[in-house]
């Protein structure tokens, strides 16, 4: 039987690139997104192109009840999760002293609690098998404050902290935990930008880095993947 990976928010951008990279290596895939048409298209394309199974469910990962529903969907497959990529999240620019009330709460729900509750929901099978790899999609904003980063940066700092805690808690179970900190990557988040493509990383480059970290022997772990555009941060 194929290994199983879970990617939250896997229909676009970095999540989609990671999903396809692992599917090309024979992994069955579980993913979620907010739009059913996008999920059905992904399922059809992945199963056709890579000859693996793709399991999909609609879920808004900023909603705790929908996270639980997605976790139940995963667990009902009756298969251990070999790789979990907590990729779901979103960005709203602003300043912490000026942004609307509720911005911080929304960022924490979408960017931190989504990873927290998904991990808690699926990690038991990893512990039982004493194996697995968890990747949390952090950001350059996890280590570097910048103007107009607002509550997004706060949430990404928190996600990196969560990742460090997980690493310490899970290493005795043989579970590897990696923080991925990409800089500006050409995804829908940058739609409308007038900057040339040369200023951005490709999602596929992040996917290659993630798969390379996964491919190490169980004796080693890449704790953080820090990857920036060659021409520097934007």
CB-based contacts of 10, cutoff 8 Å, min separation 6? 16, 18, 19, 29, 31, 32, 33, 42, 85, 87
Q: Does 113 map to a domain?
A: yes
Determine the structural domain holding residue 196 and report its residue range.
4-227
Give the mean pLDDT of 175-191: 86
pLDDT tens-digit series, residues 13-45: 999 999 999 999 999 999 999 999 999 999 999
Judge contact between 208 and 194, C-beta under 8 A: no
Q: Does 233 map to a domain?
A: no
Q: Is the pLDDT of residue 101 over 90?
A: yes
Given pLDDT bands bounded at 50, 70 and 90, which one contains residue 186?
confident
pLDDT tens-digit series, residues 125-144: 999 999 999 999 999 999 99
Number of structural domains (the chain) is 1
Residues 69-104: b if buried by 16+ CB within 10 A, e if exposed: ebbebbeeeebbbbbbbbbbbebeebeeeebeeebb
CATH of the domain at 136: 3.40.50.720
Q: Does 234 map to a domain?
A: no
Tell me the whole-structure pTM to 2 decimals. Answer: 0.95
Ranges assigned E (strand) in the chain? 4-8, 28-33, 54-58, 83-86, 133-137, 176-182, 224-227
Q: Does 82 map to a domain?
A: yes
Q: Does 66 map to a domain?
A: yes
Judge contact between 137 and 90, C-beta under 8 A: no
Query: Of 7, 61, 15, whose CA–CA distance to 188 is shortest?
Result: 15
Q: Does 216 map to a domain?
A: yes
- % of the chain exceeding 70 in pLDDT: 98
Q: Tell me which residues are annotated as active site.
A: 152
Rounded distance, CA 228 to CA 135, Å? 18
Q: What is the pLDDT of residue 62?
A: 96
Q: Does 178 map to a domain?
A: yes
Average pLDDT, the chain: 95
Q: Does 232 map to a domain?
A: no
């Amino acid at each position: 039987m194929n290994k199983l990976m879970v990617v939250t928010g896997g229909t676009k951008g970095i999540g989609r690139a990671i999903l396809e990279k692992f599917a090309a290596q024979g992994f069955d895939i579980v993913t979620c997104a907010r739009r059913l048409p996008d999920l059905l298209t992904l399922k059809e394309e992945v199963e056709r192109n890579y000859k693996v199974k793709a399991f999909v469910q609609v879920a808004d990962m900023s909603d705790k009840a929908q996270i639980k529903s997605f976790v139940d969907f995963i667990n009902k497959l009756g298969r251990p999760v070999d790789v979990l990529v907590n990729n779901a999240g979103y960005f709203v620019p602003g300043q912490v002293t000026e942004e609307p009330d509720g911005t911080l709460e929304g960022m924490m729900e979408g960017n931190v609690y989504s990873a927290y509750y998904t991990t808690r929901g699926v990690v038991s099978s990893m512990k039982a098998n004493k194996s697995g790899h968890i990747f949390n999609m952090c950001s350059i904003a996890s280590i570097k404050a910048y103007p107009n980063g607002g509550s997004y940066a706060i949430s990404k700092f928190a996600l990196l902290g969560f990742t460090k805690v997980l690493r310490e808690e899970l290493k005795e179970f043989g579970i590897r935990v990696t923080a991925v900190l990409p800089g500006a990557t050409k995804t829908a988040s940058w739609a409308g930008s007038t900057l040339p493509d040369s200023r951005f990383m490709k999602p596929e480059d992040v996917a290659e880095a993630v798969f390379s970290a996964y491919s190490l022997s169980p004796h080693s772990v890449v704790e953080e993947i820090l990857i920036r555009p060659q021409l520097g941060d934007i």
